[in-house]
Amino acid sequence: MTDRAPYRITGRTGEWELVLGLEVHAQVASHAKLFSGAGVGFGAAPNQQVSLVDAGFPGMLPVINRFCVEQAIRTGLGLRAKVNLVSRFDRKNYFYPDLPQGYQISQFKDPIIGEGVLVVERNDGSTFEVGIERLHLEQDAGKLLHDQEPNLTYVDLNRSGVALMEIVSRPDMRSPEDAAAYVKTLRQLVRYLGTCDGDMEKGNLRADVNVSVRKPGDPLGTRCEIKNVNSMRYIQQAIVYEARRQVEILEDGGVIHQETRLFDAGKGETRSMRSKEDAHDYRYFPDPDLLPLVLDPAWVKEIEATLPELPDAKRARLQSQYGLSAYDAGVLVSDAERAAYFETAAAGRDAKLVANFVTNELLSHLSKDGLEFDQSPIPASDIASLVELIETNVISSKIAKEVFERMWAGEGAPAAIVEAQGLRQVTDTGAIEAAIDAIIAANPDKAAAVKDKPQALGWFVGQVMKATGGKANPAAVNEILRSRLGMTDPA
Give 83's DSSP letter: B
Q: Least distance to Mn ion from the beta carbon of 348, Å?
A: 49
For Mn ion, the closer CB: 92 or 314: 92
Contacts of 48 (CB under 8 A, 6+ apart): 158
Rounded Cα–Cα distance for residues 92 and 217 (Å): 36
Is 178 in contact with 122 (CB distance < 8 Å)?
yes
Q: Least distance to Mn ion from the beta carbon of 106, Å?
A: 6
- Number of neighbouring beta carbons within 10 Å of residue 115: 14
For Mn ion, the closer CB: 54 or 225: 225
Contacts of 271 (CB under 8 A, 6+ apart): 261, 262, 264
Which region among 72-80, 118-126, 163-171, 390-398 touches Mn ion (by CB under 5 A)?
Answer: 163-171
For Mn ion, the closer CB: 105 or 173: 105
Please tell me whether residue 350 binds Mn ion under the rule CB under 5 A: no
Please tell me whether residue 402 binds Mn ion under the rule CB under 5 A: no
Rounded Cα–Cα distance for residues 169 and 176 (Å): 15
Q: Least distance to Mn ion from the beta carbon of 33, Å?
A: 16
Q: Least distance to Mn ion from the beta carbon of 136, Å?
A: 8
Rounded Cα–Cα distance for residues 343 and 349 (Å): 10
Q: Least distance to Mn ion from the beta carbon of 221, Å?
A: 23
Residue showing the smallest CB distance to Mn ion in the complex: 166
User: Residue 277, CB half-sphere, CA atoms under 13 Å: how many?
Assistant: 10
For Mn ion, the closer CB: 166 or 411: 166
Q: Least distance to Mn ion from the beta carbon of 195, Å?
A: 17
Please tell me whether residue 166 binds Mn ion under the rule CB under 5 A: yes
Work out the angle at residue 161's Cα, subtended by the Cα atoms of residues 157 and 167, and round it to the nearest 5 degrees.
125
For Mn ion, the closer CB: 279 or 291: 279
Sign of CA dihedral 442, 443, 444, 447: negative
Rounded Cα–Cα distance for residues 239 and 24 (Å): 15
Q: Least distance to Mn ion from the beta carbon of 73, Å?
A: 19
Rounded Cα–Cα distance for residues 113 and 166 (Å): 10
For Mn ion, the closer CB: 157 or 165: 165
For Mn ion, the closer CB: 166 or 388: 166
Q: Least distance to Mn ion from the beta carbon of 23, Å?
A: 7
For Mn ion, the closer CB: 104 or 270: 104
Interacting positions 277-306 with Mn ion (CB under 5 A) = none
- Applying CB under 5 A, the site for Mn ion has a residue count of 1
Burial class (CB in 10 A: 0-12, 13-18, 19+), 390: buried
Which region among 4-12, 161-169, 222-230, 236-244 touches Mn ion (by CB under 5 A)?
Answer: 161-169
Residues of this chain that bind Mn ion (CB under 5 A): 166
